[in-house]
Amino acid sequence: MKRDPYANNLQVRPDGTLRHFLSIEGLDQALLTRVLDTAESFDAASQKNVRKLPLLRGKTVLNLFFEPSTRTRTTFDLAARRLSADVVNLDINASSAVKGESLLDTLRTLEAMRSDLFVIRHPQAGAAEFFARHVPEGVAVLNAGDGRHAHPTQAMLDLFTIRRHRPDLENLVVVIVGDVAHSRVARSQIQVLNLFGVRQVRVVGPATLIPSGVEQMGVHLYSSLDDAMVDADVVIGLRLQKERMRGPLLTSSEEYYQRYGITAKRLTLARPECLVMHPGPMNRGIEIDSEVADGPQSTVLEQVRNGLAVRMAIMALTMGAGPGLATESGQ
């Protein structure tokens, strides 16, 4: 696999614990398994109606979104509150390209607010890593999506969802369909699925939306979704990232749906229990049929719910509060 230019050892402390969460690359399976297991314990606590844990009491979390988001922002916000942190949400209009210098200025201003944890979403690849390089010791940075580079918490909640249904990851064939070229989600998913030894990751989509040399990421490239669906255990639809497309890369939505839409008919080509996933937001009738999106094999809403537990886990671990400390606060 090609080296990720934004991944480095910033993410892990010398004692092997998680410091920042910027990309899947640079993290190992043991550490990421700890994230999943911690998330399981948080999810179990919320099943038992434990609404709040005191792990981040006295800490301030700053949600910094330079791009729109519903699910990701809300679940990060809720995750921080469930851990008893104080949360500040900042939506920043990034319509004018933000350059390194001004990002640093923003960071310094925000630092003056003495936050302990920054959650950042930004249209520029490498923005979260840039923050991580400049924050003081003890402050953590979590990447909530940077350009088309990475969206590691989404990949972790997807893996968490898959593992829940199919712990036999080594047997699974996973199909990723759609706009891989512009998808930070796909990039992080491919990395994590390969790291966890999934049997085969297949990628399929219009040639204009598949990055050249995608096979070097450890995937099998298909040109037909029907072919890719054969024996699939999981199919993941991606959103067409129109805001990142330069020029007409798509002929028409109708043609896209005909060739790459996840339909009930296509699902019959896969294994009987094949999971249907999508990070959202979905374009119904283009990327996926409503019948499938709302059907029994869909995990779309479960993914959102799991995002809460996974983000709580990542926040707690970067703040040095592991599952052993996950005691109930009685609130």
Q: Binding residues for ligand NCD, per CB under 6 A?
A: 69, 71-72, 145, 151, 154, 184-185, 239, 241, 279-280
CB-CB neighbours of 90 under 10 Å: 13
Q: Minimum Å distance from CB 65 to ligand NCD?
A: 10
Say which of 17, 33, 70, 99 is annotated catalytic.
99
- For the question of residue 148 being annotated catalytic, the response is no
State how beta strands 60-65 and 200-204 pair: unpaired
Residue 137 Cβ vs ligand NCD, minimum distance, rounded to whole Å: 29
Nearer to ligand NCD, 39 or 326 (CB): 39
Pairwise CA distance, residues 209 & 160, whole Å? 27
CA dist., res. 283 & res. 266, Å (int): 17
Instruction: Closer to ligand NCD by CB, 55 or 160: give it.
Output: 160
Least separation in angstroms between CB 69 and ligand NCD? 6
Q: Which of 149, 151, 266, 278 is catalytic?
A: 151
Q: Is residue 134 annotated as part of the catalytic site, yes or no?
A: no
Amino acid identity of residue 164, one-letter, is: R
Q: Which of residues 41 and 74 has its CB atom nearest to ligand NCD in the complex? A: 74
Instruction: Provide, rounded to whole angstroms, the least separation between the CB of residue 279 and ligand NCD.
Output: 4
Pick the closer one to ligand NCD by CB: 117 or 238. 238
Whose CB is nearest to ligand NCD? Answer: 239
Catalytic residue among 13, 34, 52, 71: 71
In the complex, the smallest distance separating the C-beta of residue 71 from ligand NCD, rounded to whole angstroms, is 4
Take residue 50 and report the two structure tokens written for it: 């434990």
Q: Is 72 an annotated catalytic residue? A: yes
Which residue lies nearer to ligand NCD by CB, 157 or 321?
A: 157
Catalytic entry in 121, 182, 278, 311: 121
Residues annotated as catalytic are: 71-72, 99, 121, 151
